[in-house]
Structure 1
Amino acid sequence: MKPIWKWILIILALLLLTVGGVLWYYGRNWKPILETKLKEVVHKSSNGLYTLTYDDLDLNIGLGNVTLRQVELIPDSAIYQQMITNQSAPDNRFHIKLKALKIRRFSLWDVLRSRQLYIKSIFLEEPEIHLMSEQHAFNDTLSTEPKKTLYESIENIFTSVNVRDVQLDNVKFTYSKLNAGKSTGVELNKVTVKIHDVLVDKTSIGDSSRLFYTKMIDVHVPGFEYDLSDGFYKLKFDDLSINTKDQNLLLTKFAYEPKMAKSAFFKQKNRNITMTILKFDTLRLEHLDFKQLLEDRKTIASSVELKNGIVDLSNDKRYPKYPKNKIGRSPHQQLMKLNSLIRLDTVFVDNVTITYHEFSAKYGKEGSISFNNAKGNLTNVTNDTSVLKKDKFMRADLSAKIMNSGSLHAKFGFDMLSKNGYHTYKGSVGAMNATAFNRILKPLLNVELASGNMKKVTFDMEGTDHRNWGDFRFDYNNLKINLLNEQEKGKAQTSKKIISFLVNQIIINDSNPDANEIYHVGKINYKRDPEHTFFKTLWQSLLDGIKQTAGISPEREARLTGTAAKAQEAVKESNSAVNKTKGFIRGIFKKKDKPKNDDEK
C-alpha cells in the first residue's frame, strides 16, 4: 500500500474517532445543558406562567433524537393571578400531560452554526390537554402595546424553528370555561391531530397560507355527546373532521335534540314554547376561513351543505303561552343582529324533511304538517354590510313535497338592509288530493276534508313587519268538508251531517271557477298580529287567500261560526228536520251585509 493511502486512512480514522468522541461527550454533557435550556425557554417565553417537568430525557446527538417521558406543562396559578392584576393575563391557559414526547432527526450542527432548528417529526404519546378559558375585559380593549409574537419569544435562541410533521394520537381534550367562579366544560376522547410544516421565523406570521404557523392541521374527533347548559337539549355527532389546508369541516350524524321525551319536555317547561329537533346525516362547510373563525370569530365559507336530515318543531297548547312582540324578529332580521359576522356564499339543502306538530288543548290530539324531501339553496347568506351594499338580498329557492304529496316550489327574497323587514315570497303547489291535509285539520280544528282535488296553487307576495300583501290563486274542484262531533272515548268519530251539508251547499264554493264559472282570485292585504312569528304570519296570509278563493268572506266566516252554534241548539230543541234546516238557512241569509264583489263571493 502506498504511503499516501495509509495517511488518508489514518486521517479518516482520526476524524471518526474525533467525531465519535465529540458525540459521546455531548451525549453525556449536553443533557444537563439541554434540560436547563428547555426549562428556561418555556419559563421565559411564557413570562413565568408555565413550568416544564419530566421524569427522563434520552438524548442521542448522533441521530438527532430526543425522548422525554412523563412530560408535564404546568401553569402557575399565582403568576396568573399577578398577570390578571397587571392586566396582562391571557384568556386561555393550558395544562398538558404526555406519556412521552419523541423528537426525531434534528440537526445540532444547524443550531450551532446558524441557530436554525430543523426537526423531521414530533410525536406526542397519549396527550392530556386541559384548556381553561377565562374572559378578561382588558383583553377586549385595544392595547397601545403590541403583543409579543412567538418568534419574538424565541429569537434570542433560534433564528428559525421548522418542524416537518407533528402527530398527536389518542388525545384526551378537556375545555373548561370559567365565569363568575363557576366552571362549565366539554370533554373529548380519542382525538387524532396531524400537523404539517410548522415554521416560526420573522416572516411566517405574515404568511397567509399558514394558520398558527402551520401549513396544515388535520383533526379527527370520534363520537361526541354534550348536554347543553339549559338542561333541556343536547348536541351529538358521530364524527368531526377538520382540515385547514383543504379548508373543510365535516360533521356526520349531527343532532341537536331534547334530552327527554316530548311530554316530559313540555311538562318541565310548563309553557307552550317550540320544541326543536335538528338532525343531519351530513353537515359540511367548504372553503371555511379558519383563521378568521379562530382569530376574529367570523364564519366565512363558500358553501354549507345540509344533507339527509329532519327539522321537527312542536308546540303544545295545553300549556300557557306568554305572548311576546315578534316584530323585528324575522329570520333575516335575526341574522343581522348577530354579534359575529357570517358570510356564506351558498347553503345547499338536500333531502331534508320539515315537520310542524301541534297538540290541541281543545280536542286533545296532535296534528302535523310536513314538507318532505326539501331541496334547494340559499344564497348571499350574510350580515356583512360591505357585501350587502353590493347586493342587499338574501335569496332562497326551495322545493318539497307538501304532506309527501303535492310538489311545492317557493322562492324567497329578504332585504337584509330594510328597516321594516321587507321580504318577498312566491311559489306554486302542484296537483294533489286535498284530503292529505286532514292530518292537521282533524286534530286541531275538528274538521275534515271529505274530498277535494287541488289542481294548482300559485302565490306572489310581499311583506314587512306589519302586513303581507299580494295575489293568491287556487284552482280546485269537488271540495267537500265535514264538521265533526267531539269524539267520545272508545267510539268512532261522527260528523255533523246537517251542518256539513249546509256549509258545503251554501257557505263554500266547491270549485274554482265556481258553478257560475266565476274565477275567484285572492287579493291579500293581511295585517300582522305583532305576537305572531314570521312563519305564522306567512301562513295566515296564505290562509286568507284560501278563504277568499273558496268564497268564504270574513262576513260568511263569522256567520258560519255563529249559525253553526245556533243549528246545534236547534237539533236539540226540535224533532223536525225541516224546522232545523229552515232556522239554519234563515240565519245565513239575513240581509244585513252590503253587496259583495266577485272577490268576496
Structure 2
Amino acid sequence: MGGLLLVLTALVLAALLLLDPWLRRTLEEQVARRSQGRYQLRIGTLHTSLWQRSIRLSRLRLRPAQDPRLWTDTTALSRLLADVGELRISGVGLWAALRRQQIPVDSVVVAGVTLRLLDLPATKVAGQPLHERLPARVPGLAIGYLGVRKLQAAYGAGRRPEVSLREGTVTARDVLLSAAGAADTQRLGYARTVLLRVAGVAARSVLDHEVVLGHGQFSSARQLLTLDALRLRSWRPPGRRQRLPQLNLTLAQLRLTGLQPTSLARRRLSLDSLLIRQPHLTFTPPRQAPPPVYQLVAPYLNRLTLAHVRLTGGYVRVAGMAAAPTVRRIALTGTDLRIDKAAAADPKRVLYAHAWQLRTGLTTARLSPPVYRGGYQALNLDTKTGRLQLEEAFLLPTMSATAVNRYKGHQSPNITLRLPRLQATGLDFAALDQRGAVLAGQVTLSRLQVLVDGDGRFPLNPTPSIVTPERLGKLPLRLNVRRIRIADATVRTNYLSPSSGRQGTLTFNRLNGTLTNITNDPRLMSAAQPAVVRASGYIANRWRADLQIWLPLLDPNGTHWGRATFGPGSITLLNSMTEPSRNVRFARGNVQQATIGFRANRRQITGTMRAQYSDLKLELLSPKGGADRKTLFTKIGTSLLNGVVVRDENPRRDEGRLKVGDMTSRRELRVSALSLWRQGLVSGLLNSIGAPKKLARKISEQQ
C-alpha cells in the first residue's frame, strides 16, 4: 500500500513538473498554428500553482515571421511586435473549467507591456466579438480585476512612429467575457467599470495634423474624461499637399463629466459639463464654409446634449486672411446645448444653446487692410438678457490721410475713432445666428470721439459713396435698431485744401442725440414712418446747434429732409475752416439766430436759410500772400465785397425785413450725404449774406 502511494505521489510530482513545460510549448505552438506561421511566441518562464490556482508567465515575446510571402495583400492580420514583462493570473476556478462552465478568475495583471504595430491588415475582415473567440470548452470568463501596467505602444514602421504612447495604465473590474456580458448595455467592453490613464500620447497625420497629449484619464465609474496639456498643430508628410485648413491648438485641460460611453451604442450622448482651460488657438479658415455642426455630428450620433460648457483663459487668432483678428482672455459659458437640426432652427436657441455668456479682453483686427487697425479692450455679452457691452473700442489709421489717398489713388476720409463705451440692449442673438439679422432695442454710444482727416489734392473717388441714406436701406442683412443714443460726443474734421495747401479744422463738441427707427424692414420703414435723427451740440465748444433729419431709408431716390437751428454766436468760429479751404476770413460778425430747412435727394439739396446777424465783415485772402495772406488785389477785393455784395446785417435797420437765403446745390454721388448737407449750408449762407444765387451755388459745389 505504501509503495502504491509512493508511486502515485511520484506520478503527480512528475505531472506537475512536466505541466509547466507542456503549457509553455502548447501556447507557443497554438500561436504559430492559429496565425498560420505568421507569428512566433516565445515565453521566458511559465509557472503554475494548482494549490493557489494561479499561473505566472514572464518575458513574453511575440514577433511576426520574416518571410514576406506570408504577408500578402490578402492577409487579414497586421504585423505586431509585442513584449510583456510579466503576466499573472490568479484565482482561476478550476472546478468550473473541468465542468465546462463559466470560469471565474480573481485577477489578471499584465505589467511591462511594449507594443509596436508596424502596419494595419491588408484586408479588412469583420472580426468576431472577443467572447466568441474563446475555446469551445469555455463558455465565458468572469474576471474580478483586470490590470495592465506600464504599457508602451506605437504604430508605424518608420523611425518615428505615426502614433505613440509613452506610458499607459488600464484597470477594469467585474469583467464578464461572455455573450451575456456583451449584451449588457451597462457595461463598457464587457467591464462594469474601466479606468484608463495615459501619458505622452503623440499622433501624426490625423487629418493633416499632429496631436500631442501630456496626460489623460478616463473613469467610467466617475463618468469623467480629463485631458491635460493637449497640443494640436498642423503637420503633413513632405511632398503632400495640404488638404484641410491649418489649425494650431494648445490647451491646459479639457474635462468632460457625465460621460456615459455605453449610450454610444444607442447613438446618443448626454454630457453634464465640458470645461476647457486656457485654449490657445491659431487657425486658417477654409476657403469653403463647412457644413453646420449638426450635419457633422449626424453620421455618428442621433442626439448630443450638453448641460453646461465653460471655457476660461482663451486666445484665438485667425491666420490666412488680411484682417488677422485676434481675441484675448476669452471666458465663455453656455447652458443647455442640444446639437441637432431642430435645435439649429430653434428661435429660442443661439448656436444650439439656450444661453451664452461671453467675456473677452483685448481684441484687434486689421480693417480695410492695410489702412486701419481696430478693436476693443473688453466685451461682455449675454444672449439670455440680450445685452452687449464694449469697452474702449477704437479705429486707428495706420497711415496719414495723404498716404491713404496716395495708396487708393483718390480722396478717402481718414477716420480715427475712440469709443469708451458701447451698450446694446434688446439684442436678438438668435436672429443674428440663424438669419444674419441685426435686431436691437437700444444702442448707446458714450463719449464718442471722431476725427476725420481729408486731403483735397487728390481726385474724387470714382465710385458712388456708401455714406448715403439709400445705401443704408440696401444693406444685404436685415437691420432693425429701434433707438441709437449718442451721449457727449466730439467730432473734429480736418481738410487739406488743394488751393492753399493748408489744413482747415472744424470741431463739434458736446454732441448728444438719438436715432430712431433705423431699419430696412419694409413693414417698419416708409415716408410716413422714416428714421429720425435728433442731435444737439456746439461748434468749437461755443456755438449751439440743433438738428433734426427725417430719412425714409427705402426711398430709391434717397429723398430726405431736415431742419437745423443755430443759437447766438460769433461767425468767426468758422474761420478755422474757411480760411484754408475758401481763402475767406470772417473779420467779425455776430449771429443772433439761424434756421435752416432743407430737402435732399440723389440730384440736389434745396431749402432756405433764415439768419439773423449783425456787424458782418469778410476779408479775402491770397494763398500766396504774406504773413497775413493779404495782397493789394485782395485788399481791393475785400473793399468791393463788403461795400457792394455783403449785407453787414440781416435784417437791415432801414428795411426791417429778413433776407432769406436760398439753399441750392447739385449733388455729387461720389461724395457722402454729409458733404451734400455742407454744400447746402454753404450755398444758403452765401446767398443769405448777399452773394448771388448762382455764385453761391457754384462756390458750394466746389469739391
| TM-score, normalisation: structure 2 | 0.63
Partners in 1 of 2:586 and 2:550 — Cα distance?
A: 33
Pair 1:556–1:505, CA change in 2 (3 A)? farther
Partners in 1 of 2:625 and 2:599 — Cα distance?
A: 44
Map Cα deviations across residues 537-596 of structure 1 (whole Å, 9 max, x no partner).
222222222222212224787999xxxxxxxxxxxxxxxxxxxxxxxxxxxxxxxxxxxx
CA displacement at 1:124 relative to structure 2: 1.5
Partners in 2 of 1:557 and 1:391 — Cα distance?
A: 33
Contact 1:376 1:397 (C-alpha < 8 Å) held by counterparts: yes
Pair 1:329–1:149, CA change in 2 (3 A)? closer
RCO (CA 8 Å, sep 6+): is it higher in 1 or 2?
1
Q: Which moved more, 1:493-502 or 1:234-243?
A: 493-502
Residue in 2 that maps onto 1:217: 356
Partners in 2 of 1:511 and 1:405 — Cα distance?
A: 21
Counterpart check, 1:186 vs 2:336: no
* Bigger share in helix: 1
Map Cα deviations across residues 312-364 of structure 1 (whole Å, 9 max, x no partner).
222223x33146364x8552111123222222111111112222211123323
Contact 2:347 2:431 (C-alpha < 8 Å) held by counterparts: no
CA displacement at 1:466 relative to structure 2: 1.1
Residue in 2 that maps onto 1:59: 218
CA displacement at 1:377 relative to structure 2: 1.0
Pair 1:268–1:112, CA change in 2 (3 A)? closer
Structure 2 counterpart of 1:123, from 275, 286, 294: 275
Structure 1 counterpart of 2:336, from 172, 188, 197: 197
Counterpart check, 1:101 vs 2:240: no
Contact 1:392 1:417 (C-alpha < 8 Å) held by counterparts: no
Pair 1:514–1:171, CA change in 2 (3 A)? same
Q: Which has the larger radius of gyration?
A: 2
Map Cα deviations across residues 106-157 of structure 1 (whole Å, 9 max, x no partner).
2759959999765443322222334543343997xxxxxx99557745546x
Counterpart check, 1:406 vs 2:549: no
| TM-score, normalisation: structure 1 | 0.72
Partners in 1 of 2:461 and 2:401 — Cα distance?
A: 22
Residue in 1 that maps onto 2:462: 324
Partners in 2 of 1:138 and 1:224 — Cα distance?
A: 25
Matches within 5 A, 1:397-546: 397-486=534-623, 491-494=627-630, 496-517=634-655, 518-529=657-668, 531-546=670-685
1:67 aligned partner, one-letter code: T
Residue in 2 that maps onto 1:230: 369
Pair 1:388–1:271, CA change in 2 (3 A)? closer
Structure 1 counterpart of 2:391, from 230, 236, 252: 252
Pair 1:467–1:488, CA change in 2 (3 A)? closer
Residue in 2 that maps onto 1:276: 415
Residue in 1 that maps onto 2:132: none
- RMSD over aligned Cα, in angstroms? 4.3
Residue in 2 that maps onto 1:68: 227
Partners in 2 of 1:216 and 1:505 — Cα distance?
A: 72
Map Cα deviations across residues 6-31 of structure 1 (whole Å, 9 max, x no partner).
xxxxxxxxxxxx9x989974499959
Residue in 2 that maps onto 1:173: 316
- Per the alignment, in what secondary structure is the counterpart of residue 511 of structure 2? strand
Partners in 2 of 1:541 and 1:75 — Cα distance?
A: 59
- Per the alignment, in what secondary structure is the counterpart of residue 387 of structure 1? coil
Partners in 2 of 1:534 and 1:112 — Cα distance?
A: 61
Map Cα deviations across residues 396-429 of structure 1 (whole Å, 9 max, x no partner).
1111212222211111111223221111011211
CA displacement at 1:437 relative to structure 2: 1.0
Residue in 1 that maps onto 2:504: 367
Pair 1:504–1:118, CA change in 2 (3 A)? same
Partners in 2 of 1:273 and 1:229 — Cα distance?
A: 12
Identity of paired residues, percent? 20
Residue in 2 that maps onto 1:11: none
Map Cα deviations across residues 66-123 of structure 1 (whole Å, 9 max, x no partner).
3223446789999xx99x9xxxx9xx8966543322234x275995999976544332
Contact 2:559 2:601 (C-alpha < 8 Å) held by counterparts: yes
Partners in 2 of 1:295 and 1:434 — Cα distance?
A: 53
What number of residue pairs does the alignment pair up? 508
CA displacement at 1:479 relative to structure 2: 0.6
Structure 1 counterpart of 2:424, from 285, 297, 307: 285
Partners in 2 of 1:548 and 1:475 — Cα distance?
A: 13
Partners in 1 of 2:248 and 2:306 — Cα distance?
A: 24
Residue in 1 that maps onto 2:517: 380
Map Cα deviations across residues 141-180 of structure 1 (whole Å, 9 max, x no partner).
xxxxx99557745546xx663433x2222222232457xx
CA displacement at 1:228 relative to structure 2: 3.4
Pair 1:32–1:366, CA change in 2 (3 A)? farther
Contact 2:470 2:557 (C-alpha < 8 Å) held by counterparts: no
Partners in 2 of 1:448 and 1:126 — Cα distance?
A: 61
1:276 aligned partner, one-letter code: I
1:168 aligned partner, one-letter code: L
Map Cα deviations across residues 366-392 of structure 1 (whole Å, 9 max, x no partner).
111222121111112122234336965
CA displacement at 1:430 relative to structure 2: 0.7
Gaps of 5+ in 2: 1-141, 148-170, 176-186, 197-206
- Per the alignment, in what secondary structure is the counterpart of residue 573 of structure 2? helix
Contact 1:253 1:279 (C-alpha < 8 Å) held by counterparts: yes
1:124 aligned partner, one-letter code: I
Q: Which moved more, 1:507-516 or 1:124-133?
A: 124-133
Gaps of 5+ in 1: 1-17, 38-47, 140-145, 561-601
Pair 1:225–1:203, CA change in 2 (3 A)? closer
Residue in 2 that maps onto 1:313: 452
